[in-house]
Amino acid sequence: MSKLLPSLSQPYVLVEGGGIFPVRRIYCVGRNYADHAREMGSDPDREPPFFFSKPADAVIQGHHVPYPPMTSDLHHEVELVLALAGGGRDLTPEAADDAIWGYAVGVDLTRRDLQAEAKDKGRPWDLAKGFDHSAPIGRITPRTAVDIGNATAIRLSVDGTVKQQGTLGQMSWAPAEIVARLSAYVALKPGDLIFTGTPSGVGPLQRDQHVVAEIEGLSKVMFTVE
Ligand code: MN
């Protein structure tokens, strides 16, 4: 049977040291740092993390990120990203940990005004979170090549001023727990990326501002909003 459309391109992320990681799906965790849950008006003790998603082709690795349409309140959220090379359903924490192939720095760009309206009206978050170029991401480092732990620093600066700063140990749910929990909802597969939530200090970005997002030991994300 002939295809009605030309072949679609497969989104991918560059791997540190060479190679590409094809992206199947992008999942994101909401409210995984207690101090960010509080700054968004939630009680971290009563609300466990939850999941949303972005389209696979939301990933962007260039040094220029376009300011998206239909918002006047674009926010940055720096996050540890898990890159899966395994998967399955109803994974144990041990099997979930085995599915994690590598780590990257990601920025969960958010149209905060659209998200606030969606929350207010009980509508979906999709277009507040899953727009074009909404997932700037650094090169993926294989987990065998980096030591990530509770003391690892995570940070985001705008025009040289630190806006978000924390450690990975502040996450309410650890990576393996996130993967295990998510696998209760969907079958996870190689190529899935999981953004694991952001520390406090989220805030607006303006055109021409320069963003540097970093996690100790991983490839930095650096871009200008245009
Ligand atoms: Mn986020």
**How do residues 110-119 score in pLDDT, each as one tens digit?**
999 999 999 9
Query: Does 4 reside within a domain?
Result: no
Helix runs in 19-92, H state only: 34-39
Averaged pLDDT, 27-45:
88
Residue 3 placed within a domain: no
Distance 214 CA to ligand 1 centre (A): 15
Domain assignment present for 6: no
Residue 110 lies in a domain: yes
Do the domain assignments include residue 209?
A: yes
Q: What is the CATH number of the domain that holds 54?
A: 3.90.850.10
How many domains is the chain partitioned into structurally? 1
Tell me how far apart the alpha carbons of residues 166 and 172 are, in angstroms, rounded to a whole number.
13
Does any domain span residue 167?
yes
C-alpha–C-alpha distance, residues 34 and 57, integer Å: 30
pTM: 0.96
111/69 Cα distance (integer angstroms): 9
Per-residue pLDDT of 90-147, as tens digits, reads 999 999 999 999 999 999 999 999 999 999 999 999 999 999 999 999 999 999 999 9
Between the CA of 212 and the centroid of ligand 1 the distance, in Å, is 16
Between the CA of 179 and the centroid of ligand 1 the distance, in Å, is: 16
pLDDT for the residue 46:
62
Question: How remote is the CA of residue 39 from the centroid of ligand 1, in Å?
Answer: 13
Neighbours of ion ligand 1 (CB under 5 A): 77, 108, 198
Q: CB neighbours (10 Å) of residue 175?
A: 23
Q: Residue 28 C-alpha to ligand 1 middle, in angstroms? A: 6
- State the residue range of the domain holding 206: 12-225
Strands, E, within the chain: which ranges? Answer: 12-14, 20-22, 26-30, 50-54, 59-60, 64-65, 74-76, 78-84, 100-107, 110-111, 135-136, 141-142, 153-158, 161-167, 193-195, 203-204, 210-215, 221-225
Q: Is 32 within the bounds of a domain? A: yes
Q: Please check whether residue 123 lies inside any domain of the structure.
A: yes
In order of 2, 22, 29, 36, 187, the CA distances from 198 in angstroms are 45, 24, 9, 7, 24
